[in-house]
Amino acid sequence: MNNETPTALVTGGSRGIGRAIAQTLARDGFQVILTYVSRPEEAEAVAAAIVEAGGQARACKLNVGDPQSVTDFFASEIKDKVNLAVLVNNAGITKDGFLVRMKDEDFDAVMNVNLRGAFICTREAAKIMSKKRYGRIVNISSVVGQMGNAGQVNYASAKAALLGMTKSCAKELAARNITVNAVAPGFIETDMTASLTDEVRAEYAKAIPLKRMGTAQEVADAVAFLASDKAAYITGQVLAVNGGMYC
Ligand code: NAP
């Protein structure tokens, strides 16, 4: 890793959508730091595949739900170590349940990782990017943050709040030539959706005008666009990648 090549930090880059984003940004010429929290082997395998394909990548452990470790991580691994150009706040978890049975800790855990984690990463990245007068921040929200979803009041709340955060940060950081946008995927085939029953999948498919779930690569391509110079005049926007579900 060097201090010159524009670098993309992808949280939760070990699997699913984050892995596709890490691989796509590496293909686009970014040096990539991808983070994981629980599965080092999968993260190392993604980094190794990128290097094997001629790119530059490193896997790092980072629990975005632990504020102190995030600030420590930016101080020790990012600041003055790499040329941070792109932050993708992708790390996310679900702890689904109906409202009346949802435990406080399940609400807090989802808010902590999906919202506060993105907030702290954005704050730390913004300090570094502001000095360079350049940055691209992409937040991975969700269609359920836009339309709501029964059984996901915690997750939908966090993903909706992420859109407010995106728009506010876009306004604050525009003067520093830092764009902040969100991508709102619909239902995408990953570990997160692997446990859905066939019945639920069939229900979802009915609600998707394009009649299929999306792929991680289709989300990654939208992120890559927002991270590129082609999106230089786009900030504070939400790009839906959802097969036409919520227009
Ligand atoms: P996934 O397959 O479950 O992968 C989640 C990733 O986040 C993993 O890399 C995981 O690391 C990491 N992670 C989990 N908790 C973390 C924490 N506390 N700190 C740092 N990293 C953490 O999820 P996915 O389906 O690819 O989803 C990626 C993003 O897209 C999430 O924000 C999700 O909410 C959003 N999204 C997904 C869908 C969908 O249908 N799949 C739809 C809309 C939005 P480990 O591998 O180490 O556990």
User: Residue 209 maps to which CATH number?
Assistant: 3.40.50.720
Contacts of residue 192, Cβ cutoff 8 Å, sequence gap at least 6: 16, 92, 94
pLDDT at 192: 85
What pTM was estimated for this model as a whole? 0.98
Contacts of residue 57, Cβ cutoff 8 Å, sequence gap at least 6: 22, 26, 31, 32, 33, 34, 46, 47, 50, 51
**Nearest-5° Cα angle at 76, 56 to 164:** 85
pLDDT at 206: 87
Q: What is the mean pLDDT of the chain?
A: 97
Has residue 163 been placed in a domain? Answer: yes
> Do the strands 31-36 and 135-140 form a parallel or antiparallel pair, or are they unpaired?
unpaired
Q: How far apart are the first and last CA of the chain?
A: 41
Helix, strand, coil percentages (3-state) for the chain, rounded to 5, are: 50, 20, 30
Has residue 247 been placed in a domain? Answer: no
Give residue 127's domain range: 6-241
Has residue 1 been placed in a domain? Answer: no
Q: Kindly give the distance from the C-alpha atom of residue 221 to the centroid of ligand 1, in angstroms, as a whole number.
A: 17
| CB of 12 closer than 6 angstroms to any ligand 1 atom | yes
- pLDDT of 141 > 90? The answer is yes
Mean pLDDT over 89-104 rounds to 98
Has residue 109 been placed in a domain? Answer: yes
- pLDDT of 247 > 80? The answer is no
pLDDT at 203: 84
Question: Do 42 and 15 meet the contact criterion of CB atoms below 8 Å apart?
Answer: yes
> Which residue among 37, 119, 166 has the greatest number of ligand 1 atoms within 8 angstroms of its CB, and so is best to mutate?
37
pLDDT at 109: 98
Per-residue pLDDT tens for 39-81? 999 999 999 999 999 999 999 999 999 999 999 999 999 999 9
Cα–Cα dist 143/107, whole Å: 19
pLDDT at 202: 84
Has residue 107 been placed in a domain? Answer: yes
Mean pLDDT over 106-125 rounds to 98
Higher pLDDT, 214 or 194: 214
Q: Kindly give the distance from the C-alpha atom of residue 103 to the centroid of ligand 1, in angstroms, as a whole number.
A: 21
Has residue 147 been placed in a domain? Answer: yes
Question: Do 223 and 88 meet the contact criterion of CB atoms below 8 Å apart?
Answer: yes
The residues carrying an active-site annotation are 155
Nearest atom, ligand 1, residue 91 CA: 7
Nearest atom, ligand 1, residue 89 CA: 32
pLDDT at 24: 98
Has residue 246 been placed in a domain? Answer: no
Structural domain tally of the chain? 1
Q: Kindly give the distance from the C-alpha atom of residue 95 to the centroid of ligand 1, in angstroms, as a whole number.
A: 12
> Which residue among 90, 115, 166, 218 has the greatest number of ligand 1 atoms within 8 angstroms of its CB, and so is best to mutate?
90
Q: Kindly give the distance from the C-alpha atom of residue 93 to the centroid of ligand 1, in angstroms, as a whole number.
A: 6
Q: Give the model's confidence band at 151: pLDDT under 50 very low, under 70 low, under 90 confident, else very high.
A: very high
